[in-house]
Structure 1
Amino acid sequence: MTAEPGREHLCGLRDGTVLGGLMWECEHPGGLVVIRTPYDAEQHEPIARSWNARGYHCLVQDVRGRYRSTGDWSPYTSEGGDGAQVLARLSSEYPGLPLVLFGASYAAHTALEAARGAAFASAAPVAAVITLVPALGPAETAWDADGAPWITHRIGWWHEHGRHRRSLPPLPTAELDRRTAQAREQGFVEAARNWDWAPAALADWRRLWSAERVDLSARYGHLDTPLLVISGDDDFFDHDARRLARAWSAPVHFASGPWGHRLVGGVTDEALRSRITSAGGLSHIIDPWLRAQGMPGTAAAWTGVLASAAASRTRSLLDPVSGAWCHERTSP
């Protein structure tokens, strides 16, 4: 039997923008997971169905200006206000269902911003936030922790995802190398004038390189929503994921292991991948953590570290050699 496709979901905003997405529903849901993405809602069907299997409805929504959603696409500018309005709409459509915000990379940013926007607007309460390898803001994606630019990575991402309603094919390696050399010789902004980018895209590119790092305590420290942060030892955003966990004042659980930005799917060492799988992978963290928050999930002995009211910060680390998880409480 062919599985039913996701149902079209439209959310009109106060400024006339219509955000489009796909809703995958399950029988007897215990919650509703919201994923807001610039990478095409339809491509997220496998993860949406995995949430259905856990007992959650799942909405995957294209952000403003991307794929099914109207408006202008400008990375890192609209996610707080847009997300808050989406949550208010969902709360009225699915009354009583806990809302869980979930996302990886840019979608982790949308999850955090929706939680912040909802709190600021006194909109629908958020039951939990789960962020994986979070890309927290323009500056965090442009510069490493030591202040060196990620110029090749940024040129590639903005060419492919940052300028149009739909993503473009990646730049050929030779062209990406040529543009990187141009940027180093002429300056990041000046070089882009030779790349046939529209004025709006050039303005966003200029903003990327002039942005300040996010003050995470000021931006998110007032939120009272439980947070799960999943990073990777080899992820280029690991430093910022740890900053986020330290800045969060509500209960936060940090988890990491021997993978990079593509998480377990990017591990190419077959022996290491086998050890990670044998340890339960990320489901070993996500499902019991959700259960500990009172939502559908799987019971596990390790969540005893979450039980103490004083344990607002806890962590789980996967040892790459032994393939064993270590769960512990940590200091503020």
Structure 2
Amino acid sequence: MTPPRDARPHAVIAEDGALLRGWVWERAEPRGVVLIRTPYGAWRHGDTARAWVGRGYRCVIHDVRGRHSSDGDWHPYLAERSDGRAVAEQVRAENPGLPLVLSGGSYAAHTALEAARAADVDALVLLVPALGLAETAWDENGRPQLRDRIGWWHQHGRGPRSLPPLSDEQLAACVQRAADMGVHRAAEEWGWSSEVLSGWRRLWSAPAVDLDRAYGALRAPLLLIRGDHDFFFTHAGRLAAAWQGPVHLVDGPWGHRLAADIDDDEVRSRLRRAGGIGGVLDSWLAETGLPTTASAIAAPASGRSRRTRSAFESETGRWRHERTA
């Protein structure tokens, strides 16, 4: 790990005494604070932190339990509510009077949602969210997402540090083995520890998240960014439909890596000229009454409407903004 030169260390003691660590990116006279909790290495998210700093925020990015600099054992999707509460409450106490925004993409979106269940927050900004174990294991038609899950668990699911990804040939062989033998028997050949195998079995037997029960009490404004070609697209739509507070949905021709997944150079250029996803974020922050110092190029439908949507049109290179409820 190479510590970021422009951030300071941050630590929180969890309920069971585990030390959860991360970094804080500062700015002079912050007008808000953003918290992100990730399993992929907090120090790797410096660009994201600096973008938030440029909008007027202090940005706190933490490693989740059992990953990188944080103590404890790594069990994907099992400890994020209590740990998220501990970190969010301390960050709130350290920043009295400042609005607290929880943010993150994919797994980090899950950590933000779970923390919001247990801590007082002012808003959430979620990108291509992974809602839970079952939602990552199965697609909307009940088919196993073997390639994505096998690849993810080989690389990220087996210890405090991520491992090199499987080659295309290795991954294809593992997927075929799982299709032929079943996901559990195949995994027994991969040299995983009994603890990892237990988590793997839990993945495939976990129930889907009951969105009403989990998040039905939340009223904080939500900016929810999904992609037309993201494998979590439908699950993000379910979350938007279940959200009881104001929600602004952002759609566009990208996948799980957002604009990085757009292969067409002209479409990427059109998106950039239209202000990108960041332009919608800036306008939403302003509409929601949250600080932003960046230029708001795109303009969502009025925040007075509870449900709104921005969709990027590849053909015209423009954002379409609409009220959906």
Q: CA deviation at 1:200?
A: 0.9
Q: CA deviation at 1:300?
A: 5.1
Quick check: 1:291–1:299 contact (8 Å CA) kept in 2? no
Q: Write out aligned runs for 1:71-90 (5 A).
A: 71-90=72-91
Q: CA deviation at 1:264?
A: 0.9
Change (3 A) 1:161 1:244: same
Match of 1:323 among 313, 317, 320: 317
Matching residue of 2:209: 214
Q: CA deviation at 1:222?
A: 1.1
Matching residue of 1:233: 228
Q: CA deviation at 1:303?
A: 4.8
Question: Which range is displaced more, 3-12 or 287-296?
Answer: 3-12
Matching residue of 1:285: 280
Equivalent-residue separation in structure 2 for 1:306 and 1:29 (angstroms): 26
Matching residue of 2:44: 43
Quick check: 2:312–2:318 contact (8 Å CA) kept in 1? yes
Q: 1:59-79: CA deviations, max 9, x gaps?
A: 110000000000000000011
Indicate yes or no: 2:249 matched with 1:254: yes
Match of 1:306 among 302, 305, 308: 302
Indicate yes or no: 2:180 matched with 1:185: yes
Q: CA deviation at 1:213?
A: 1.1
Equivalent-residue separation in structure 1 for 2:172 and 2:132 (angstroms): 25
Q: Write out aligned runs for 1:61-80 (5 A).
A: 61-80=62-81
Q: Write out aligned runs for 1:85-96 (5 A).
A: 85-96=86-97
Could you tell me which amino acid in structure 2 is paired with residue 77 of structure 1?
L
Matching residue of 1:14: 15
Q: Which runs of 5+ in 1 are unaligned?
A: 119-124
Match of 1:201 among 171, 196, 206: 196
Q: CA deviation at 1:284?
A: 1.5
Cα RMSD over matched residues?
1.4
Give the TM-score, by structure 2 length. Answer: 0.96
Matching residue of 2:140: 145
Indicate yes or no: 2:238 matched with 1:243: yes
Q: 1:254-285: CA deviations, max 9, x gaps?
A: 01101100001222211110011011111121
Could you tell me which amino acid in structure 2 is paired with residue 296 of structure 1?
P
Q: CA deviation at 1:182?
A: 1.2
- Displaced runs of 4 or more, over 6 A: none
Equivalent-residue separation in structure 1 for 2:202 and 2:12 (angstroms): 28
Matching residue of 1:121: none
Give the TM-score, by structure 1 length. Answer: 0.94
Quick check: 2:280–2:296 contact (8 Å CA) kept in 1? no
Could you tell me which amino acid in structure 1 is paired with residue 36 of structure 2?
I
Question: Which range is displaced more, 171-180 or 222-231?
Answer: 171-180
